[in-house]
Amino acid sequence: MARKKRVSIFNNYCNCSRYLKKSEENKTKNDKERLDSYYKRNYRDYFGYLEGTLKDKKEELTESEQGILDWLEKNK
C-alpha cells in the first residue's frame, strides 16, 4: 500500500511539472492575448473618437497617433 501511494504521488508530481512547463511556455502568448483583449474592450471607443480628429489633422502625425490609427485598422 505504501509503495502504491509513493508511486501515485510521484506520478502526480510528474504531471504537475509537465503542466507547469507547458504553462510557462505559453505564458508570453497568453499574456499578449489578455493584453490585446483588454485594449479591445477598453480603448476601442476612445481610439475611435480620436480617429476622426487624427484623420482631419493637417500636420504630420506623431508616432503614437499613427500607432492609434494602425491599431484601429488592425482591430476593426
CA angle 28–33–39, rounded 5-degree value: 125
Say what the pLDDT of residue 70 is.
Answer: 93
Q: Which three cell numbers stand for residue 24?
A: 510557462
Q: What is the pLDDT of residues 32-59, one digit of tens each?
A: 999 999 988 998 888 888 888 888 888 9
φ and ψ at residue 53, rounded to 5 degrees = -65, -40
Between CA 53 and CA 20 the distance in angstroms is: 47
How many CA atoms, within 13 angstroms, populate the side-chain half-sphere of residue 12?
Answer: 6
Q: What is the pLDDT of residues 59-72, one digit of tens each?
A: 999 999 999 999 99
